[in-house]
Amino acid sequence: MTNRYSRQVLFSDIGEKGQKQIRSSKVVLIGCGALGSVSAEMLTRAGVGQLRLVDRDFVEKSNLQRQSLFTEEHVSQGIPKSVAATRALRAINSEIDVEGVTADATWQNIETLCQNHDIIVDGTDNFETRFLINDVAVKHAIPWAYGACVGSYGLAFTFTPGTSACLQCLFEGPPAIGTSETCDTVGILAPVVHIIASYQVTQVLKILTGQPPSKQILRIDVWN
């Protein structure tokens, strides 16, 4: 094992064996905005073997306040987030396989995007896509790390089909359009993004190393 991961290997709950498991893992991340970009960077630095990034959007100036992978140069280039993130991540860790997919996750492609991966990471900003992730996760018994944040509030839970509740157990269906607060309506603080993404990635690393994730829902308000 290279000294790149030496401090992670020294952590006894991971060790050499766990690092090899991380290195052989395949992770798909749906959404490369605030949560997604932070999670993608941490997973890349942790040494996941293959990381697939799925996002349809282009980098905008308003993203720079909280989406840590992107720069003003990406804005001026007018490139997709999946492309910008892939370039940035490859510069961070050339040892892993990073694949950017510029596409919207829909009922038509969600199964193809997620199949044959060890875990799904939620970096989305809407319930419609999360319910699609939940469907494919339950169908193929793929664990997935849910995360959401708006304003100063964040929420996270890791679903493990067969051993935990699923998203539909917590929410019967997506809330009606226009009834939920969004980053576009009430804003978002960068600190809560990093906390929720950090929690998501921690649970991902636990699963990839054969350990059970937390069974509790994380709720946090960093301002109040």
**What's the pLDDT at 165?**
85
**What's the pLDDT at 63?**
95
> Which residues partner with 26 through β-bridges?
50
Find the radius of gyration of the CA atoms of the chain.
Answer: 17
**What's the pLDDT at 13?**
97
**What's the pLDDT at 16?**
97
Where the chain has pLDDT below 50, the residues are: none
pTM across the whole model:
0.93
Three-point CA angle 223, 151, 60, nearest 5°: 130
- Cβ–Cβ under 8 Å, residues 40 and 147: no
**What's the pLDDT at 139?**
95
Whose tokens are 């892993």? That residue is 96
Whose tokens are 């030496």? That residue is 6
**What's the pLDDT at 182?**
81
**What's the pLDDT at 146?**
97
The DSSP result for 87-144, as a single string, is: HHHHHH-TTSEEEEEES---TTTHHHHHTT-SEEEE--S-HHHHHHHHHHHHHHT--E
Catalytic residues, by residue number, are 183
Dump strand ranges (E) for the chain.
Answer: 26-30, 50-55, 97-102, 119-122, 144-150, 153-159, 218-221
Helices (H) and strands (E) in the chain, counts: 10, 7
